[in-house]
Amino acid sequence: MRRGRTAAPRAVAAADTATSATTSIDTGELPRLCDRTLPQALPGVLRPDYARTSTRIGTMHFGPGAFHRTHQAFYFDRLLKRDTTRAICAVSLKTLSLRDALAPQDGLYTLSELDVAPSVRVIGAIREVLVASEDATAVSRRLAAADTSIVTITVTEKGYCLDGAGNLDFAHPDIVHDLRNPQAPRSLIGWLAHGLQLRHERALAPFQVLSCDNLADNGLLLQRAVLAFARRRGRILADWIEARTRFPRTMVDSITPATDAPLRRRVAQALGLQDAWPVQREPFVQWVVEETDAPRQPDWKAVGVTMSRDIPAYGQAKLRLLNGAHSTLAYLGLLAGLETVAQAMAEPALATFLQCLMLEDIQPTLTAQAGEPLTNYMQSILKRFKNPLVQHRLAQIAWDGSQKLPIRVLGTVADAIRAGRPLTRLALPIAAWMHFIRARAGSAEAIVDPLHELLGACGRGTCGEAKHDLRLFLELPGVFPASLRHDAEFVRVLGAAYDLIAGRGALAAVAQTLARTQQ
């Protein structure tokens, strides 16, 4: 896949020189990155190769966290060289932190690609950052602007306000509020419906809506939720959205570790400027977008975006092989006292277990192959996980497990049950998640999850024995489907995995499970 103006060897040499030349400088005294200071950036820094002042905002993005800025904004940054109408208005629904960091920088920030030959580039695609809860008028104005043709989204699974069946949860507090106050929404769904209502009233074409979250059939789920909301508003709006608005499915992939103090120091040294919120990712980046008949499409292929009519094949392979493997490493690794993906992969038993899980348990559930053979894809994932420069924290991956496990792991389990395949290895990461929750609750550590209160109560009620604890977890709302809760073999195997971790510890449980399944 093409990756833009990498020029890696030259950039690295310059960055190394810059680092050695500025090691004695207090990076806190460096000027702040912005349009005015960008020409002062050190040689070798990759920077926008278009005139930012001549660009126009044609894209809105909801949820401008680190992944958006390493991924979609990276692609739009490349598009702007060809099409100056593709700049981004980034919208945070409630939090102020990104706006406060990027507004003084004119929307500029630094992307560090972590490789043997690392590169540092300044991304200029974001021209405006808004906070919806603070300035609803400005967000409404952008949604209704004639130039706005695309809305992209990364709000994570919980931002869609869905119930356990994948439908819009009309009991969700934000959805209840938005139906009563449609002109001042709180939820993503409410904002999309409001924006489309404005465009309908003004006889403007609808914008195209691209979900970029890790949800199977993400575009279809989003479309269904927006239509369900719109039908409560009125049949005319819902019919117009259904007939005119396109919600392509997408698949996105790139490992994006959280921003930390070492990254800020490295970027300041390489850039020669202070960046309040740089981001980092591995060199591998992939975006697959479903082909549709939507008008005003960007020239996706010109910047390395894959267009396909078989998004489910890409998406399911990524969700189960990469994301499922990530969650497996996160919960087992954290229980073993490890901190990063690379550290977990350095444990021989964990690395071998993951390879067996992917090859023997997950791959058989993937009936369609996308692009290259799945064996090649699995090997590339294992190689990416081992990259020592990508300090992807297991705790970050472990967040929102109640939302992620059903999509990343439990679907694989359900397929394995239908096919009569063994569940022994698949049960281990699920049991590890339960022990992770139990450990967090027992030590009064924060549980980052939409169900944090229920999970905390569940964890505090456990005793460490499956015959007592499993019932508490299996009855959590929206996590385990009834088909699994009532499957005797699944409950038996999960209980055995739970007791094995409780009695032997995570790494010993991994080794013992490997020994049992490889006989």
Q: What is the pLDDT of residues 280-334, one digit of tens each?
A: 999 999 999 999 988 888 999 999 999 998 888 888 899 999 999 999 999 999 9
Give the burial string for 84-95 (b: 16+ CB within 10 Å, else e). bbbbbbbbbbee
Q: Could you tell me the domains of the chain?
A: 9-257+274-309 (3.40.50.720), 312-517 (1.10.1040.10)
For β-strands 279-281 and 119-123, DSSP reports them as: unpaired
Report the alpha-carbon angle 147-151-156, nearest 5: 160
- CA 33 to CA 79: how far, in whole Å? 22
Residue 290 bridge partners (DSSP): 308
**CA–CA separation, 353 vs 317, rounded Å?**
18
Could you list the pLDDT tens digit for every one of the 519 residues in the chain?
333 333 332 222 222 323 333 334 456 689 999 999 999 999 999 999 999 999 999 999 999 999 999 999 999 999 999 999 999 999 999 999 999 999 999 999 999 999 887 799 999 999 999 999 999 999 999 999 999 999 999 999 889 999 878 899 999 999 999 999 999 999 999 999 999 999 999 999 999 999 999 888 999 999 999 999 999 998 999 999 999 999 999 999 999 999 999 999 999 999 999 999 999 999 999 999 999 988 888 999 999 999 998 888 888 899 999 999 999 999 999 999 999 999 999 999 999 999 999 999 999 998 655 556 788 889 999 999 999 999 899 999 999 999 999 999 999 999 999 999 999 999 999 999 999 999 999 999 999 999 999 999 999 999 999 999 999 999 999 899 999 999 999 999 999 999 999 999 999 999 999 999 987
Structure confidence at residue 26 (pLDDT): 57
Q: Which helix (H) or strand (E) holds 168?
A: none
Query: Could you count the other beta carbons within 10 Å of the beta carbon of residue 190?
Result: 25
pLDDT given at position 203: 97
Query: Which two three-digit tokens encode residue 265?
Result: 């120091």
Report how far Cα 514 is from the mean position of its chain's Cα atoms: 30
pLDDT digits (tens, 9 = 90+) for 465-494: 999 999 999 999 989 999 999 999 999 999
The secondary element (H helix, E strand) that includes residue 279 is: strand 279-281
Q: CA 93, CA 344: separation in Å to the nearest integer?
A: 35
pLDDT of 310:
87
What local confidence, expressed as pLDDT, does residue 24 receive? 42
Phi-psi region of 30 (alpha: psi -120 to 50; beta: other; left: phi over 0): beta
Helix, strand, coil distribution of the chain in percent, nearest 5: 55, 10, 35
Alpha helices (H) along 31-124 = 66-70, 72-79, 97-102
Residues 6+ away with beta carbon under 8 Å from 394: 329, 330, 333, 334, 338, 339, 340, 341, 344
Predicted pLDDT of residue 27:
62
Residue type, 236: I
Q: In this structure, what DSSP letter does residue 49 have?
A: S
Report the distance separating Cα 179 and Cα 228, nearest Å. Answer: 11
Give 203: exposed, middle or buried? Use CB within 10 Å, 0-12, 13-18, 19+.
Answer: exposed
3-state secondary structure 299-338: CHHHHCCEEECCHHHHHHHHHHHHHHHHHHHHHHHHHCCC
Q: Are strands 119-123 and 109-113 parallel, antiparallel or unpaired?
A: antiparallel
Let me know: does 423 contact 413? Beta carbons within 8 Å: yes
Rg (CA), the chain: 23
Please state the pTM of the whole predicted model: 0.80
Rounded Cα–Cα distance for residues 191 and 185 (Å): 6
